[in-house]
Amino acid sequence: MSTNEASSRRRFLSTVVLLGAGSTASAAPKSKPAEVNATEDLMREHGIIRRTLLVYEEIARRLDLHEEKAPVEVLARTTRLMRRFGEAYHEKTEETEVFPRLVKAGQQKELVQVLLEQHAAGRKITESILAATSGRDALTQPQPRAAAARQLNLFIRMYGPHAAREDTDLFPAFRNLFDEKQFNELGERFEEQEHRLLGSDGFENALKEVAQLERALGIHDLARFTPSER
């Protein structure tokens, strides 16, 4: 098996079920692994960030309810995940690999400027939230709770449109800067950076962590988000 085929970060195994008249059920063979390209990689990272925003949303809701105990530890863990995975890794990749190439090509300059400003604003909010979770009596009083909830809601309101605009406008423009060979090489470079900054299973570990945070708040069941008829 080649190095590319063995890449645990950028491939998934799909199975093909072969059905034939009168045939008996048998184990489905594995198909050839499919590669995850550079922009798809960034969009999958947005998936983890969006799930982090769902955790933020639930915590903000609870902070607005005075009878609810503030989930301080969950908030601290979630914010550290956002800082480590969302800011120090994902946003850094955008700022060093994506934005400069687009600006050099004379594309998406205004959008890039707004995105950079939002990265900076988000990091300030992250530091503010982390500060609010420190101390023995963190988020026990109405005013700090309200302030933290407001910060979380500001972050959520900003990052949803931020990621959506990147997915639909920025990343397609970025993809068009490369031929197929260059784009494949860039994908491998992204993977190397991930391993260097987050370890060999950085994405998978971040995914596990956000799933644990969802479970800690009882929002891990996707079905609970389905509207019910009244």
Print pLDDT tens along the chain (230 aa).
Answer: 444 444 444 443 333 333 343 444 444 444 444 467 899 999 999 999 999 999 999 999 999 998 899 999 999 999 999 999 999 999 999 999 999 999 999 999 999 999 999 999 999 999 999 999 998 889 999 999 999 999 999 999 999 999 999 999 999 999 999 999 999 999 888 888 888 888 888 899 999 999 999 999 999 999 999 998 76
Q: Which two tokens mark 70? A: 């503030």
Whole-number pLDDT of residue 24: 40
- Residues 149 and 47: their CA atoms lie apart, in Å, by 22
Q: Beta strands of the chain (E only): which ranges? A: 11-12, 34-35
Question: CB of 128 within 8 A of CB of 153?
Answer: no
Whole-number pLDDT of residue 30: 44
- Residues 160 and 88: their CA atoms lie apart, in Å, by 18
Whole-number pLDDT of residue 132: 96
Question: CB of 55 within 8 A of CB of 24?
Answer: no
SS3 at position 115: helix
Residue type, 224: R
pTM, full prediction: 0.82
Residue 140 DSSP class: -
Whole-number pLDDT of residue 230: 66
Whole-number pLDDT of residue 229: 76
Residue type, 56: Y
Whole-number pLDDT of residue 35: 66
Task: End-to-end CA distance of the chain: give it in Å, rounded.
Answer: 55
Whole-number pLDDT of residue 128: 97
